[in-house]
């Protein structure tokens, strides 16, 4: 290791010296709670980071294993740390350096190249849709798992990318009260198109003009959290070009992960690269800060402007709804109350709180595929807690959690997994919540 070249920026490095080793983060960490070894816990990893940063230890393959296979980067440790240690900034920075040192597996590298180029992603999604239709089927899919993810639980691709379904500008219904940009992310564009349609429908009925810029690509978070900051820069620059605009009231995001990337991660990563002497301009950092200030999760935005919502019709049907907090929403953006209040205000919804709604679902993007055994332990706990509520619907604001939880729920119970904005749209439509 070159001792004269800093691994991470000074402001990131500093976190290792703030840790008081109190251990309060242990009980919050989903991985530690399952594996019960110090190296899996946030405290142990902070000490490990300290030794690496101080040059006492090299980033060995063993260290990489701990950094990647024993952490979901869920941020639960950051949320509870009384000393303000930002463990995830340390871990994601070290993952970057580890990837530089030991490389990224070929399949993953290829996947990131696909994700970061819109036209390649669209073409791959198109092939994926047809391959699944032609070569697969319920019997085959019920036998296959990717890590801990049952393939038959993965929703099909949209017939058409969401972005192709709408013009770039969608007028407000009635008097225009605001103008927003909508960052729909890959999940809505290729899989959860109905969530996107619900976002547009609810916002326009609130009197909001919605602009859906063409040419959007991935937010880049799965790429840079895996250590490939170079590839992720393409996504970051694309997003800043399209969305860092003064002429809008907000930039709406329906995905907890994208929201957390655009709001928190972009400014941090760009500043860190700049401080380390990489070719990152002050102008780009200013753009990231502008975008960060405009980001609103869809539940947050609707809640802030709930007076603009048209009246919801009561259809005399009742459904029991519970809510799972995505890590990137509750810990990443401190959004906890807003989706719950929106759900509780819907006529016909009986809201029931599950035990430990704010704990991770175990998905962690590709974590569930690469580290299926650990992921399964965490997911099983979450699924039991959802089943215990007797809910008809599990609401959540993250497509990743939606997919992970949806794939593991007991099919016989018929529990639907929906974004809060989908339930809101149904209520505005006067649809029967039970059968829609």
Residues of this chain that interact with ligand SF4 (CB under 6 A) are 19-25, 28-31, 42-43, 45-46, 71-77, 81, 83, 85, 87-88
* Contact (Cβ atoms closer than 8 angstroms) between residue 288 and residue 244: yes
Q: Under 8 Å CB-to-CB from 355, ≥6 apart: which residues?
A: 385, 388
Give whichever of 24 and 151 is closer to ligand SF4, judged by the CB atom: 24
Report the nearest approach of ligand SF4 to the CB of residue 192 (Å).
25
Give whichever of 8 and 309 is closer to ligand SF4, judged by the CB atom: 8
* Contact (Cβ atoms closer than 8 angstroms) between residue 75 and residue 332: yes
Give whichever of 46 and 335 is closer to ligand SF4, judged by the CB atom: 46
- Other beta carbons less than 10 A from residue 227's beta carbon: 27
Report the nearest approach of ligand SF4 to the CB of residue 327 (Å).
7
Which burial class, exposed, middle or buried, applies to 84 when counting CB atoms under 10 A from its CB (0-12, 13-18, 19+)? exposed
Between helix 87-102 and helix 42-53 the angle, nearest 10°, is 50
Question: Largest Cα–Cα distance in the chain?
Answer: 69
Give whichever of 45 and 381 is closer to ligand SF4, judged by the CB atom: 45
Give whichever of 24 and 431 is closer to ligand SF4, judged by the CB atom: 24
Report the nearest approach of ligand SF4 to the CB of residue 14 (Å).
13
Report the nearest approach of ligand SF4 to the CB of residue 98 (Å).
15
Q: Which long-range contacts (CB under 8 A, 24 or more apart) does 57-60 make?
A: 58/1, 59/1, 59/94, 59/97, 59/98, 59/101, 59/102
Q: Under 8 Å CB-to-CB from 321, ≥6 apart: which residues?
A: 343, 349, 350, 351, 352, 391, 392, 393, 394, 395, 423
Report the nearest approach of ligand SF4 to the CB of residue 44 (Å).
9
Give whichever of 76 and 201 is closer to ligand SF4, judged by the CB atom: 76
* Contact (Cβ atoms closer than 8 angstroms) between residue 20 and residue 83: yes
Report the nearest approach of ligand SF4 to the CB of residue 267 (Å).
19
Give whichever of 85 and 269 is closer to ligand SF4, judged by the CB atom: 85
Give whichever of 141 and 336 is closer to ligand SF4, judged by the CB atom: 336
Report the nearest approach of ligand SF4 to the CB of residue 146 (Å).
20
Give whichever of 128 and 372 is closer to ligand SF4, judged by the CB atom: 372
Give whichever of 31 and 104 is closer to ligand SF4, judged by the CB atom: 31
Give whichever of 71 and 285 is closer to ligand SF4, judged by the CB atom: 71
The rounded distance, in Å, linking the Cα atoms of 67 and 73 is 10
Report the nearest approach of ligand SF4 to the CB of residue 51 (Å).
15
Report the nearest approach of ligand SF4 to the CB of residue 96 (Å).
16
User: What SS3 state is found at 14?
Assistant: coil
Backbone angles phi, psi at 100, to 5 degrees: -65, -40
Sheet of strand 393-396: strand arrangement:
349-351, 319-324, 393-396, 416-418
Alpha helical stretches, state H, 227-324: 229-243, 256-260, 266-275, 282-294, 298-304
Q: Which of these, 299, 295, 328, 292, lies nearest to 76 by C-alpha position?
A: 328
CA quadruple 390, 396, 400, 404: dihedral, nearest 10 = 0
Report the nearest approach of ligand SF4 to the CB of residue 62 (Å).
17
Report the nearest approach of ligand SF4 to the CB of residue 88 (Å).
5
- Other beta carbons less than 10 A from residue 109's beta carbon: 15
The rounded distance, in Å, linking the Cα atoms of 239 and 220 is 9
């Amino acid at each position: 290791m070159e001792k004269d070249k800093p691994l991470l920026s000074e402001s990131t490095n500093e976190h290792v010296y703030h840790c008081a080793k109190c251990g309060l983060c242990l009980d919050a960490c989903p991985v530690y709670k399952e594996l019960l070894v110090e190296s899996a816990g946030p405290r142990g990893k902070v000490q490990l980071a300290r030794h690496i940063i101080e040059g006492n230890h090299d980033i060995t393959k063993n260290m990489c294993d701990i950094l990647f296979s024993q952490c979901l980067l869920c941020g639960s440790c950051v949320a509870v740390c009384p000393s303000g240690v930002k463990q995830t900034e340390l871990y994601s920075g070290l993952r970057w350096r580890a990837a530089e040192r030991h490389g990224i597996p070929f399949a993953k590298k290829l996947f990131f190249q696909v994700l970061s180029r819109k036209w390649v992603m669209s073409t791959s999604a198109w092939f994926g849709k047809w391959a699944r239709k032609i070569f697969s089927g319920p019997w085959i899919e019920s036998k296959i798992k990717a890590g801990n993810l049952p393939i038959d639980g993965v929703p099909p691709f949209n017939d058409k990318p969401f972005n192709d379904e709408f013009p770039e500008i969608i007028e407000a219904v009635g008097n225009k009260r605001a103008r927003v940009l909508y960052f729909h992310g890959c999940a809505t564009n290729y899989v959860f198109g109905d969530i996107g349609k619900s976002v547009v429908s609810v916002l326009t009925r609130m009197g909001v003009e919605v602009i859906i810029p063409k040419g959007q690509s991935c937010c880049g978070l799965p790429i840079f959290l895996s250590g490939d900051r170079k590839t992720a820069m393409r996504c970051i620059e694309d997003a800043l070009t399209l969305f860092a605009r003064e002429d809008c009231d907000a930039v709406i995001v329906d995905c907890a992960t994208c929201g957390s990337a655009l709001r928190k991660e972009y400014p941090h990563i760009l500043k860190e690269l700049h401080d380390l002497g990489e070719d990152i301009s002050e102008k780009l950092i200013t753009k990231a800060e502008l975008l960060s200030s405009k980001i609103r999760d869809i539940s947050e935005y609707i809640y802030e402007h709930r007076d603009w919502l048209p009246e919801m019709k009561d259809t005399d049907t009742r459904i029991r709804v519970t809510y799972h907090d995505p890590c990137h929403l509750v810990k990443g953006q401190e959004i906890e109350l807003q989706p719950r209040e929106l759900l509780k205000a819907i006529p016909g919804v009986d809201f029931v709180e599950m035990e430990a709604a704010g704990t991770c679902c175990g998905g962690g993007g590709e974590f569930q595929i690469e580290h299926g055994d650990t992921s399964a332990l965490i997911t099983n706990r979450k699924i039991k807690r959802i089943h215990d509520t007797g809910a008809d619907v599990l609401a959540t604001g993250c497509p990743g959690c939606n997919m992970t939880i949806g794939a593991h729920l007991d099919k016989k119970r018929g529990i639907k997994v929906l974004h809060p904005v989908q339930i809101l749209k149904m209520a505005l439509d006067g649809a029967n919540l039970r059968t829609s």
